[in-house]
Amino acid sequence: MVKSTNRILLVLCLGLGLTHCTPTKDSQGLKELSDYPIGTAINLKSTLSDSKKLNLTVKEFSSITAENNMKMFRILPQENEYNWDATDAVVAFAAENQMRLFGHALVWHSGTPKWVNDRIAADSLWAQNFLNEYINTVVSKYQGKVAGWDVVNEPMETQGGKLRSTAWLNALGPDYIAQAFHAAHTADPNATLFLNDFNLERDPLKLEGFLDLVEQLLNNNVPISGIGFQMHYRMDIPDSLILKSLEKAAAKGLKIHLSEVDLIFNTHDDSQAGGVQSYENFTPEMAQAQAAKYKNLVALYHKAVPKAQRYGITFWGFNDRDTWIKPFFKIKDWPTLFDEQLNPKEAYWGFKEGLEENMN
């Protein structure tokens, strides 16, 4: 039996042949159904230029993550030329709308500008000093305004349990990770600091290596306070495997953030343009299956993660028009809660039901 009044309204609308049903002004947003933040990644310029998208962002979500504007290549594109305009705008938007702002990401191999990679390769001492200086500059500037940070993003290889070979690892060894956490904690002792990666829910070897790294950091008194599951996951990933992965991570006692959630039907090899187009059209049956999977995700999060450790669920964009999945993997897919016209899909109502059924 469907509990959500909004879902009942959607079914009625569809039955009448109306295709533009949306959550009503007085209906509860996703953020009102959860005691932990429900977030979305945003491109601020795109959001501000579309009133419907802007209204949905503010209505539905209590937390935002900047897609790119808080990454190193945007903040420091050239040496000694910090660019704060876009980041300041994101900070102001979050404050104005009383939303939690999550910082993504301080150290990421793909977000490191070329000039930094070149200097790192030439001078390891410079790399060490720069890492401290950059993190201190950024985190201290937004102390008290950014609630938490992905301090190191994607430290593991795409598959398996080894550290990713990056300019940072090659110059400084594995200690670059601990150094980054210490620098962030010194700059803002109250910020929640995360290690974040993808495929943790579906690659047991990668998860094992990742959690071994977390354990080493904890044993060495490194101030890590959270684990980020990006959760760019697929319809064919068994819920039982997701549950087991979340339980293993939660056992470390840290905050657990589902940090970049979307859910696809097609497959890919995790590389740019590496998509495999198995589904050409989005059918009603697929919509229902996706809704059930999103609903189950909430239940899995609640079952695996104790209440005190739930940092929140953040979607990596909430509509199929703006999803990164299609341009990056060069496939057609439907991974989010809203369609390309910004209307709620069955996925939205499924996720909402999951929140309603797991409110306590």
Between 7 and 152, the more confident residue is 152
By residue count, the chain amounts to 360
Give CA–CA dist 10/18, Å, rounded.
Answer: 9
Question: Looking at residues 283-292, what average pLDDT do you find?
Answer: 98
Which amino acid is located at 316 in the chain?
Answer: W
Name residue 257's beta-bridge partners. 228, 312
The whole-number pLDDT of residue 3 equals 39
Residue 285 known to be catalytic: no
pLDDT digits (tens, 9 = 90+) for 126-142: 999 999 999 999 999 99
Which is the catalytic residue, given 67, 201, 260, 346?
260
DSSP H helices in 32-122: 44-48, 51-60, 72-75, 85-96, 114-122
The whole-number pLDDT of residue 27 equals 83
pLDDT digits (tens, 9 = 90+) for 60-77: 999 999 999 999 999 999
CATH code reported for the domain at 5-357: 3.20.20.80
331, exposed or middle or buried, with CB in 10 Å at 0-12, 13-18, 19+?
Answer: buried
Which is the catalytic residue, given 60, 67, 154, 346?
154
Q: How many CB atoms lie within 10 A of CB 322?
A: 22
Percent of the chain surpassing pLDDT 70 = 92
Question: Looking at residues 82-105, what average pLDDT do you find?
Answer: 98
Give CA–CA dist 57/88, Å, rounded.
Answer: 18
Give CA–CA dist 30/58, Å, rounded.
Answer: 10
- Per the prediction, the chain carries an average pLDDT of 93
The whole-number pLDDT of residue 360 equals 61
The whole-number pLDDT of residue 156 equals 98
The whole-number pLDDT of residue 22 equals 52
**Cα separations in angstroms, 118 against 69, 168, 357:** 22, 11, 51
Name residue 315's beta-bridge partners. 40, 261
Is the pLDDT score of 30 beyond 70?
A: yes
Asked which of 7-11, 91-95, 250-254, 260-264 is least confident by mean pLDDT, the reply is 7-11
pTM for this structure? Answer: 0.93
Closest CA relative to residue 64, chosen from 87, 37, 84: 37
Is the pLDDT score of 25 beyond 60?
A: no
Asked which of 16-30, 114-128, 289-303 is least confident by mean pLDDT, the reply is 16-30
Residue 353 known to be catalytic: no
